Amino acid sequence: MKNPKITLALISLIIILSAIASITGIFSSDGFESFTFESIHGEETIVYGKGLYGYMPEDVAVQGIAQDYVTLFIGIPMLIIGMYFSLKGSFKGRFILAGTVGYFFVTYLFYMLMAMYNEYFLIFVSLAGLSFYALAILLLSFELKSIRSLFNSDTQVKLPGIFLVINGFNIAFLWLSIVVPPLLDGTIYPSGLGYFTTLVVQGLDLSLLLPMSIIIGILLIKKNSYGYLFGPIYLVFLSILMVALVAKIIAIGLTGGTIFPAVIIIPLTMIIAFYSAYSLIKNLNS
């Protein structure tokens, strides 16, 4: 692996800072009583009122805490395992590490942009930046010309590719069903916007992550070298992200929120993502 010392330093910082942020998010409880806040659009929102996410809407705060559990008990161990095997020269370890770093980048990019300003803002900024540069270094460590030779000749890439294409369009249509109807009937602002200034999740998904899923899927189907590079990495990232979304669904359900049809779609997507990632990575030559 190229630049192992730099990569190790970046990953170590990500582990330390994300552990601090996650533990604080899970266990902090100081604050004030929850209260109802009326947004500029006249929509009433229950503010959570305690801990790191005290000024977040209640339904969003509990999702943040649920994801902190996933980051702490799944994301960080995967960083450690991936880094350990990467340093030993394992390509499987390097793909897993890159996909996991991708999860940290997307997670803290959302935290940095979406969480109400709090004392951990600079930690979120640092984690987004550190994981971005760590991911860039990891991607550049692969030799694109020889990437296909890392996989066994009988590796099946068509089904994982089709899954990535379907996943991209599926979530895109879901988000557009929220954004487009208010534009057509003149109300403009979607229900559930609350006191957020914009739809951060939908915006980043529709502009970056979902087109990326579709493009990588097409490249995999065509057996393009970029597909072999980005396919396993994106699938590892997506697998961890889906675990986080399942945790969020459980948190919403426990607070009495509506979880259908997400309670069916997200776990199914998680299972397929896991299988697709495993099917590619197991066929990597040692």
91 domain-assigned: yes
> At residue 87, what is the residue type?
L
Say what the pLDDT of residue 286 is: 63
Beta strands in the chain (DSSP E): 35-38, 44-47
Say what the pLDDT of residue 85 is: 97
DSSP 149: G
For residue 5, CA distances in Å to 9, 11, 14, 109, 252 come to 6, 10, 14, 25, 41
Question: Which one, of 86, 46, 71, lies nearest residue 244 by Cα?
Answer: 71
DSSP 159: H
Task: Work out how many domains the chain is built from and give that number.
Answer: 1
68 domain-assigned: yes
For residue 109, CA distances in Å to 44, 169, 217, 236 come to 27, 22, 23, 18
52 domain-assigned: yes
284, β-bridge pairs: 151
286 domain-assigned: no
Tens of pLDDT, residue by residue over 124-137, are 999 999 999 999 99
The Cα 158–Cα 154 span in angstroms is: 12
Say what the pLDDT of residue 39 is: 83
4-27 helix and 76-87 helix, angle to the nearest 10 degrees = 170
Tens of pLDDT, residue by residue over 74-100, are 999 999 999 999 999 999 999 999 999
Walk along the chain (286 residues) in steps of 10 and give the mean pLDDT of each run. Answer: 91 98 96 87 88 94 97 98 96 98 98 95 98 97 95 94 97 94 94 86 97 98 97 98 97 90 92 98 88
Question: Which one, of 204, 186, 24, lies nearest residue 110 by Cα?
Answer: 204
What is the pTM assigned to this prediction? 0.96
168 domain-assigned: yes
**How many residues does this entry show for the chain?**
286
Q: 10 is in which domain, residue-wise?
A: 4-281
181 domain-assigned: yes
Give me the percent of the chain exceeding a pLDDT of 70.
100
Q: Is the dihedral of CA 179, 111, 166, 271 positive or negative?
A: negative
Tokens 């161990």 map to which residue?
A: 77
Say what the pLDDT of residue 147 is: 96
172 domain-assigned: yes
Say what the pLDDT of residue 247 is: 98
DSSP 151: B
254 domain-assigned: yes
